[in-house]
């Protein structure tokens, strides 16, 4: 918290946790509390989390979506879903679009809402 403000022009966003919903470390409301604590301590920074794409699609992250996160990093690996190399790209695209569609539906925004970025991917 002491040093972050001096790097404001170099840091795009801050993530709190990584796959904590997927692993069951926190519920959506619990994680939102932690995210909002960071947002309150570091005003002017975009703050969110990174998690498996399905946690943004299945309702686990709805509290984050409606509670004010700025950015979500979506992790998706076709290998863990039993996909072949030939279907890896299509599978990943479908997964991300499912997550994004749910985020848009819950937020009620097509533009200007929560940013969704790819955090991790691979075959």
Q: What band does 123 get if pLDDT is binned at 50, 70 and 90?
A: low
- Summarize the confidence of residues 55-83 as an average pLDDT: 91
What CA–CA distance (Å, rounded) separates 116 from 119?
9
pLDDT surpasses 90 at 116: yes
pLDDT surpasses 90 at 53: yes
What CA–CA distance (Å, rounded) separates 117 from 58?
17
Residue 11: what pLDDT?
A: 93
CB 50 within 8 A of CB 17: yes
- Summarize the confidence of residues 70-92 as an average pLDDT: 84
Residue 76: what pLDDT?
A: 85
Bridge-based pairing state of the strands 115-122 and 13-18: unpaired
What CA–CA distance (Å, rounded) separates 62 from 107?
9
pLDDT surpasses 80 at 1: no
pLDDT surpasses 90 at 79: no
* Positions marked active-site: 19, 120
- Summarize the confidence of residues 76-104 as an average pLDDT: 85
């Amino acid at each position: 918290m002491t040093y972050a403000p001096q790097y404001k022009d170099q840091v795009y966003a801050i993530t709190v946790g990584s796959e904590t919903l997927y692993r069951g470390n926190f519920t959506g409301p619990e994680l939102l509390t932690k995210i909002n604590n960071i947002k309150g301590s570091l005003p002017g920074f975009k703050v969110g989390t990174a998690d498996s794409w399905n946690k943004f699609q299945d309702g686990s992250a709805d509290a984050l979506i409606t509670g004010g996160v700025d950015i979500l990093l979506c992790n998706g690996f076709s290998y863990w879903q039993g996909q072949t190399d030939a279907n890896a790209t299509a599978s990943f695209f479908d997964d991300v679009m499912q997550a994004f569609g749910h985020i848009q539906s819950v937020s009620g925004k097509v533009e200007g809402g929560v940013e969704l970025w790819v955090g991790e991917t691979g075959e």
